[in-house]
Amino acid sequence: MARLILFNKPYGVLCQFSGDGTRPTLADYIAVPRVHAAGRLDADSEGLLALTGDGRLQARIADPRHKLPKIYWAQVEGEPDAAALATMAAGLDLGDFVTRPCRARRIDEPAGLWPRDPPIRYRAAIPTCWLEIELREGKNRQVRRMTAKIGHPTLRLIRAAIGPWSLGDLTPGAWTAVDVNLPPATAPSSPHPRKKPCSPVRSRARVS
C-alpha cells in the first residue's frame, strides 16, 4: 500500500519545495515530509498534481512507458473547427518531436470552475472556447505548443485527471491523501541463472 497526495495546484505556484522566497512553492501548501511530485506542472498551469514518497508509485505515474492518461482542460483563443482538432489528435510535428496520437474535443466551460488569479486577458473581439485533451505523454509545455500549432494559443490550462485520479471537489491550494494498491514487485531475473543438475543417463537396450 502506497500513499498518494492529490493537490490542486494554483496558478503561479512552483512545482518544487524550495525556492528563493519570491514565488510560492509546494512547501507553502503541503507540510508532508519526504514526498515528491510524480510529474510536473508549469507555474502558469493549474490543477491536479500527484505527490508520493513511494518510488515505484512515482515512476508508475510519471514514466511515459506506463502510458497513464492525463486529461487537460485548455481555454484557447478562437474556436478551432473539427479539422483542426483532428489534425491535433492525429499527432503534430513540433520540431523537436512528433506528438503521439491523442484525444481532443470541444467542451463547455467546466462546471464549478474557480476564477483564476490573476484572470486571463479579456478581449471582446476575440472569442475563446474550452478543449479537453487526453495525452499519454508529457513533454515540456506540450499542450500549449500543440494548440499554438493549430493556430489557437492556450490562455488557461488546467490538468483535470491523472489516470484514475481526478480533481473532484478539490479547491485551489487544497489536497487530499489516498491509499494506492500496487502490484507486487517482481524480483529481477539473475544474469546467471543456476543450472539444474543433470540426471544420469540410463542406456536402453535396442530391440531389433
Active site residues: 42
Cell of 127: 472569442
Alpha carbon separation from 175 to 1, 4, 33, 88, 181 (Å, rounded): 19, 10, 15, 32, 20
Q: Secondary structure of the chain: what % helix, strand, coil (to 5)?
A: 15, 30, 55
Query: Across the strands, what pairs with 134?
Result: 71, 103
195: alpha, beta or left? (left if phi > 0; alpha if psi -120 to 50): beta
CA distance 131 to 196: 60
Residues 171, 172, 174, 179: is their CA dihedral positive or negative? Answer: positive
37, 199 Cβ separation under 8 angstroms:
no
